[in-house]
Structure 1
Amino acid sequence: MRNEDNHFRILRLLEANPQLPQRAISRELGISLGAVNYCLKALAQKGYLKVKNFHASDNKRQYAYILTPAGLAQKASLTKRFLHRKLEEFELLKAEIRALEQEQEQQPDPSRTAGDIYKEFEGS
């Protein structure tokens, strides 16, 4: 998965649930915990996320990831590019399916045996 896709999906998850732990993000997106950590640091360094400790939490390693105005704008931009890429992939997939269906229609009937074909050949 591309870094841009990871960033988009992480921003999307955190907008809905800023207190989501990194392990939950990792499970949800199917990417490694290290990749999540790397992306979160990159997003914070770019100013797209603010990382805050929970003051009321007993677990001092639990954070809230708040999207900044720049983060919301970046998410909107990434959403547009993500959607455009997925629509292109969808169109390519539909074209490939059509080509396979046409190819399948041109294939000989698989229920015919070699003997049937030979009899047809002898009869002509």
Structure 2
Amino acid sequence: MLTDEYRYKILKLVELRPEITQRELAEVLGISLGKANFCLQALMAVGVLKVSNFRNSKNKLAYMYLLTPKGVEEKAKVTVRFLRNKMHEYELLKLEIDALVNEVAQSNQKNLIDNNG
């Protein structure tokens, strides 16, 4: 399944570097080449990305990934969803950090009392 996180990151990378190779995409995302290919194929299948050939002196023939008009719209939607999810994760993490800070403070206070008492 193609998560919003991967969808967002792939669309962002492709928009910034349409000539990015699948290998480079996989490396940047920290995923396998096969998963990068799967993700790109999935995005092309729903009409969000299209691929075209272009000549490149290094690779003789390479591919360029382009966002379709539907892809531009999808990128905007997925960006909002991705941001919303990250903000929710941040709030949960902040609560957990606050609880841990309080736990450490209480433990230190108890140790101080035990050592001086």
Q: Same fold (TM over 0.5)?
A: yes
Query: TM-score, normalised on structure 1?
Result: 0.82
CA contact (8 A) 1:26 1:36 kept: yes
CA distance in 2, matches of 1:7, 1:87: 18
Q: For 1:70 and 1:60, locate their aligned partners in 2 and report how far apart those are by CA, in whole Å.
A: 30
TM-score by length of 2: 0.87
Q: Deviation string for 1:64-107 (max 9, x for gaps)?
A: 00000000100100000000000000011111111011111110
Partner of 1:57: 56
Correspondences of 1:1-124 after superposition (within 5 Å): 3-54=3-54, 56-57=55-56, 59=59, 62-108=62-108, 117=115, 120=117
CA apart distance, 1:57: 2.8
Please tell me whether Structure 1 or Structure 2 has the larger radius of gyration of its CA atoms.
Answer: 1
Closer/same/farther in 2, CA of residues 61 and 45 from structure 1, 3 Å limit: farther
By percentage of residues, which structure has more strand? 2
Aligned pairs, how many? 115
Q: Distance in 2 between matches of 1:30 and 1:6?
A: 11
How far apart in 2 are the matches of 1:81 and 1:38? 22
Deviation of 1:111 (Å): 7.5
Segments of 5+ residues of structure 1 without an aligned counterpart are none
